[in-house]
Amino acid sequence: MQSSELLALLLTSDHAEQRRFAALELADMPNMSEEVIAALARGLSDEDKGVRDVCAFALHSHNNAAVKSQFIAPLIVHGRIEVRNLAGEVLIKLGAPAADALLPYMTDDNPDNRKFACDIIALLDNTSDHIMQSVMDQLEDPDENVCSAAIDALGRLGTTSCTASLIALYKRNPDLGPYIVQSLSQIGGEEAQEFLLELLSSPDEFAQIAAIDGLALCGTSTDIAKRILAELPTASDLVQTIMLRTVFGLAYRLNEYIELPSELRYVAHRAMSDDDDEIRIAGLFALGNTIQEEDIPSLTGFLLHADESLQRHVLSIVLSGSDIPVATRFTREFLAIVDADRPEAQDLPVLLVGLWPDISEPVQQCVLNVIEAEFDGVGEIGKYRLMLALPALDTELYNRLRDKQQDSETGQHIEPTANGG
């Protein structure tokens, strides 16, 4: 069939099957004329879903994207939501060339249409000056939803040229603060980082937390981590642990070492019992590789909520890099948790086997001495777990404890007296 016949069929047939057939045939044409593009765009609003889907598929190609967009864009204000959404999907697939076709709708009388146009532009990866200016103009929109859409779009698309406008809006309308901070953290740059650092001293705790999370995303130097650390002593308990997460998250990402001052180790201890996995891990790494006796209760508690790799890390930094007093206290508290009815405790003693060669002989002997001295006070499950590991640590101690257990079990049998008592 000729294209004129197919066009007539698509646009005028009362039968959905014929319209679908016409759309499929037109979709296979190597070079689409504007007349064909216009007809397929009109097909996006067809009553039949099959026709709409075929037309959408036909228009997905990036060939003639700007022309296609001019015919599709008017459908974002269509009366039926499924048509509006489908038009938006096709425009997003067409990419950056579709942005210009949406500009008229950025100033539409209906705020819902302005917001939808901005939402689509945010996903088109078009940062041309006139497109960015159109989005920045919406920061002044009287409708808060439109303004929020513009803030989000600038976060997705924006360059540092948008930063000053976003900061000015924050100061005028702090209620939009969380959205603005998120966008600034996506844009990044020195000006955004400096503003987020200023928010750390805000009396609004939610603003502080948003700024800390933003710096975690856009921070580019350990100087930022150190400046956050400097604010930590005066922050609330909640904000302190979030700050700690960001400081040591940045240090890890930048492969730099940051030392937590001794007087702030209590923050790491509290972080290690937090419900948030990232905060707990930040607390662990904040302690560094030099463990003090005051750290041990937090470390043993941490072991019961950690995976095997983190458990191995804890055992390594304590037993491979600590002195005898620390190793002694740690082993005592370690024995108190090996009996715990938790899956995380099941393999704790066995993990010692892999680390044993890296532990100095004095510390090895210290650990063995404490195990022998405290063994009777360990529960049955804990004893069983220890005995699985001991043969690889020290066969003589294993044999002594095994014999002691056997003697104890034998001694529990009470011989009957002569009178049967």
SS (H, E, C) the chain: CCHHHHHHHHHHCCCHHHHHHHHHHHHCCCCCCHHHHHHHHHHCCCCCHHHHHHHHHHHCCCCCHHHHHHHHHHHHHCCCHHHHHHHHHHHHHHCHHHHHHHHHHHHCCCHHHHHHHHHHHCCCCCCCHHHHHHHHHHHHCCCHHHHHHHHHHHHHHCCHHHHHHHHHHHHHCHHHHHHHHHHHHHHCCHHHHHHHHHHHHCCCHHHHHHHHHHHHHHCCCHHHHHHHHHHHHHCCHHHHHHHHHHHHHHHHHCCCCCCCCHHHHHHHHHHCCCCCHHHHHHHHHHCCCCCCHHHHHHHHHHHCCCCHHHHHHHHHHHHHHCCHHHHHHHHHHHHHHCCCCCHHHCCHHHHHHHHHHHCCHHHHHHHHHHHHHHHHHCCHHHHHHHHHHHHHHCHHHHHHHHHHHHHHHHHCCCCCCCCCC
C-alpha–C-alpha distance, residues 256 and 264, integer Å = 19
- In the prediction, which pLDDT does 402 show? 93
- In the prediction, which pLDDT does 420 show? 43
Per-residue pLDDT of the chain (421 residues; tens, 9 = 90+): 677 888 888 888 899 999 999 988 888 887 888 999 999 999 999 999 999 999 999 998 878 999 999 999 999 999 999 999 999 999 999 999 999 999 999 999 999 999 999 999 999 999 999 999 999 999 999 999 999 999 999 999 978 889 999 999 999 999 999 999 999 999 999 999 999 999 999 999 999 999 999 999 999 999 999 999 999 999 999 999 999 999 999 999 999 989 999 999 999 999 999 999 999 999 999 999 899 999 999 999 999 999 999 999 999 999 998 899 999 999 999 999 998 888 889 899 999 999 999 999 999 999 999 999 999 999 999 999 999 999 999 999 999 999 988 877 665 544 444 444 4
Tokens read off for 240: 């302190």
| pLDDT tens per residue across span 355-365 | 999 999 999 99
- In the prediction, which pLDDT does 411 show? 57
Which pTM does this prediction carry? 0.80
- In the prediction, which pLDDT does 118 show? 97
Tokens read off for 30: 């190597």
- In the prediction, which pLDDT does 27 show? 84
Sign for the CA dihedral angle at 219, 223, 229, 234 comes to negative
Tokens read off for 188: 């990044």
- In the prediction, which pLDDT does 32 show? 85
- In the prediction, which pLDDT does 99 show? 97
Q: What separation in angstroms does the CA of 293 have from each of 118, 248, 287, 359?
A: 57, 22, 12, 18
Query: In the chain, where are the structural domains located?
Result: 313-408
Task: Look at the block and give the residue holding tokens 């014929």.
Answer: 18
